[in-house]
A and B are shown apart, each in its own frame.
Chain A
Amino acid sequence: MAVATDTEAFVGASVKRKEDASLLRGRGTFVDNLTLPGMLSMAVVRSPYPHARITNVDLDAARAAEGVVAAFSGADLAGDWSGPMPCAWPVTEDIKMPPHFPLAADEARYQGDGVAVVVAETRALAKDAAGLVEIEYEPLPATADVEKALEPDAPLVHADLETNECYVWKLETDDVRAAIDAADLVVTRRYFQPRLIPNAIEPRGVLAQVGPTGDLTLWSATQIPHIIRFTMQLVLGIPESKVRVIAPDVGGGFGSKLDTYAEEYLAVALAKRLGRPVKWTEERSENYQATIHGRDVVSELTFAATKDGKITAVKGEMTCAMGAYLQLVTPGIPLLGAWIYSGPYAIPNYSVTFTGVFTHTTPTDAYRGAGRPEATYVLERTMDALAAELGMDPVELRRRNLIQEFPHTMSSGLTIDSGDYEASLDRLLEILDLEEIRAEQKRRREGGSTTQIGVGFSTYNEMCGLAPSRILGAIRYAVGGWDSATIRFQPLGSVQVVTGTSPHGQSHETTWAQIVADELGVDVDDVEVLHGDTAVSQLGMDTYGSRSLTVGGIALWHAGQKILDKARHIVAHQLEVAEDDLEFANGSFAVKGSPDRSMGIKEAAFAAHAAHNLPDGMEPGLEATATFDPQNFSWPAGAHAAVVEVDTETGDTRLVRYVAVDDVGAPVNPTIIDGQVHGGITQGIAAALYEEGAYDDGANLLTTTMTTYLVPSAAEVPSYETDRTETQADNPLGVKGVGETGTIAAAPAVVNAVVDAVSHLGVTDVQMPATPERVWTAIQEANAK
């Protein structure tokens, strides 16, 4: 890919990443790489029981151990908290929100719940001493099953609530029942989407330092330094004005670091008590128990349809695991999919109901896609089921229902600004060569091959770019969805950009520089992007939900417009011409008709700082901040297909091809977009074929390491075929989100392909992940019928 040389052609070019220089040399600033003088190490003692009364915590042996500075139980620290750890999304008025403190004091409610904490001079000594903490537990019954937890005699996660039901949330149009009653065909299917463990390769990490005046600096491997800043006031009573949160280099998040965790508050509380910096680094087994999980939803989806394949109603009943406590946005995750159970299809009648349920498990929260994969999976699986019932080609069924005109207001109530869904599907089919795949499938079926081939589709859209603040308010989210950017010309013409988004792999240092370079006519290397430090970036709502470009990037564009306005004012004054007589191109303001009379934006910046000759009343300096609150969500969409081979004797599935055509609006950096798509697809494939966070009947987590929870390696996946169609989003850059598209689209495409490969044997569904055992069993059960 060529690097742009024209000063107005960085956007749209695959500019090489600025981030790479340090990361490739091993010079990353990940939290565990940081040390401070006098720093202590913290270790957390966790409940081995999924549910137990804590009857005694004996810390004497731990306190006496070598190198130990302090050890505390939950009861010891109860007075340190000015409030419980926050849940920012009470989705209904009568939602049950049990208090959640950094350490459990009386009852442990999931395996991994923190019960005590030890601080020592080194990591090893802290861990040694943690093993000496003696806790007496009285085990209690527990359940990890989201449906059994609603049964009348189910063990209660929070006994005082007298129920495990956290909330019921419903969205319904008027005539759903009538549409179902009047339908030629009604198809209902039930699916379970198991838990997924996010598995950022960098575990979480925290380093807290509290100064003598109570000022706090907290380094955290987080996606949300700004949000953590205000939770420090809520939980620890430290005024936000005294809090500096730094997200240095962060090694992936995928939603798991869109949260605030016990260890952040514990490290701060202990640093405050002990007067020394405290560091904690998560181990992988802790990550599996004590960092949030995703999914764990039982869904029943109903389609009403005409005999020629027009879907007239969709109705979904979702039972969603919350886990043992509500984390930052736990209850709201299912709702992030609530408006798109009709997906890219024009379906006039709509009903979705979500029931949130407490279970004795690690809390759930955002995992890449967050609510939208859950919606898209059941929708796209049921599309295939309906196609089978109708005897219709699944591509044709999708085509008949795709939304045709944009903007389009869905029956769920939200308006999609732009798209061309059929164009993506057409391009997908061009790349795929479906006829040849079907011919090969026919040959293998007729020849009785034990290696059958299947193809599966997924046409999808998603609502992302979180989010319009007014809508967030209307759905009871605690804060806004805007973001901010500052652009600051230095006197000699280099440019600093401060963003309120907080990248952790998404390449904002490069792409934000591309946007500013084009807008202001400077070189991409003139621009430095600063982020992830609340002392530098005062305003921001951080990075998640494919929001950074469509919210923070648009704020950046607006800040650029303010810079141009001021610079134009300065140049007009200095050249003694009217502002309207100036044209801006390639970083220079020129007088219309006399191009030799001009002034560059860097000269204007110097003039702004020298302030020798500015218009009367103008403030010196060339700096602008803009905040941007989107009026709508962002609506990426596309069409994906998977081709698999299934060994009918062993049930083993091999992914042969994966083709993705996405419309993510105007591309800022195509190579970086492709990278996001590749990674997203892989997480969707992982859910379809490999990954499942499993609990036993007693709510013990069975998948506690990477050897039992199968994160795919390079050997499990193929190279991908990606392409884009493009419709301009309704914003100044024409951009849409991209971070979650692959994960949303891929899981149903792959499972649809697996089912397609063995459908001639009578298989109609395979529980995800479609492991060899499950595929083999599905074939045996179909044979037995």
Chain B
Amino acid sequence: MRRVALTVNDVRHELELEPRELLVYVLRERLGLTGTNVGCDTTSCGACTVLVNGESVKSCTMLGVQADGLEITTIEGLARNGELHPVQQAFHEHHALQCGYCTPGMVMAAVSLIEHGEAKDEDSIRKGLEGNLCRCTGYHNIVKAVAAAAGAR
């Protein structure tokens, strides 16, 4: 076991972790933050995407111990004072989710894409979200929502 300290959604946690514990299970099972979903366990689907020090990371591919000292934002940390983040709001406005399982990861990936100024147009949004799979929406409305949230054309 190894002692680590990580900050998740502005709350600092000190945890004893097995070195093999994946970050996503630390979030889900140790901290009860079940908004971050597991879709493939193999870095393919992106359902588990979170922000680590502002960068989007697939949390099934990072060990919990690697997050020692880092700041993590999950879907639960995105809305502020009950108000949806603009990307969450855009997903609602544009019907960019159906079953909602890929949604937390998709939203976090989109937040990162927009914050990095990489959601410039439809093409860059589509390429930027390549690592996040959705089986329901066909991406059409996700792309619209991200473009709207980015103020992009």
Task: Please list the residues of chain A having a beta carbon within 8 angstroms of any beta carbon in chain B.
Answer: 14, 16-17, 19-20, 23-28, 30, 32-33, 123-124, 199-203, 249-252, 254, 281, 283-285, 504-507, 671-672, 674-675, 678-683, 705-707, 711, 713-715, 717, 719-720, 742
Contacts and interface: CB of A to CB of B under 8 A. Distances in A.
A125 to B, nearest CB: 11
Nearest to A719: B140
B76 A675 contact: no
Contacts of B28: 32-33
Interface residues of B, number: 59
Nearest to B34: A33
Interface string B106-148: 0100000000000000100111011111111111111110000
Q: Which 10 residue pairs spanning A and B have beta carbons closest together?
A: A26-B35, A251-B101, A23-B100, A505-B99, A682-B138, A706-B44, A26-B75, A678-B138, A505-B98, A33-B34
B150 to A, nearest CB: 14
Given A16-B92, A284-B41, A714 B139 contact: yes
B133 A201 contact: yes
Contact of B33 (A16, A26, A283, A713): A26
Nearest to A706: B44
Nearest to A16: B92
Main secondary structure of the interface of B (DSSP, over half): loop
Nearest to B44: A706
A714 B130 contact: yes
Contact of A24 (B44, B45, B100, B101): B100
Contacts of A19: 100
22 contacts: A17-B92, A17-B95, A20-B91, A23-B97, A30-B101, A33-B34, A124-B20, A200-B99, A201-B39, A201-B134, A201-B135, A252-B101, A252-B136, A254-B135, A505-B136, A678-B141, A679-B137, A683-B135, A706-B133, A713-B133, A715-B130, A719-B122
B39 A284 contact: yes
Contacts of A27: 35
B36 interface: yes
A14 B101 CA distance: 22
Given A23-B97, A507-B98, 11 more contacts: A16-B95, A17-B95, A19-B100, A26-B76, A33-B28, A201-B47, A284-B42, A505-B136, A679-B136, A706-B44, A719-B143
Contacts, number: 180
A678 B18 CA distance: 43
Interface of B: 18, 20-21, 25, 28-29, 33-42, 44-45, 47, 74-76, 78-79, 84, 88, 91-93, 95, 97-104, 107, 122, 125-127, 129-144
B131 A713 contact: yes
B79 A201 contact: no
A203 B142 CA distance: 22
A714 B88 contact: no
Contacts of B37: 28, 30, 32, 201-202, 251
A16 B141 CA distance: 13
Contacts of A504: 99
Contact of A23 (B18, B76, B103, B122): B103
A20 B45 CA distance: 21
Q: Which of B18, B36, B75, B142 has the most CB of A within 10 A?
A: B75
B15 to A, nearest CB: 15
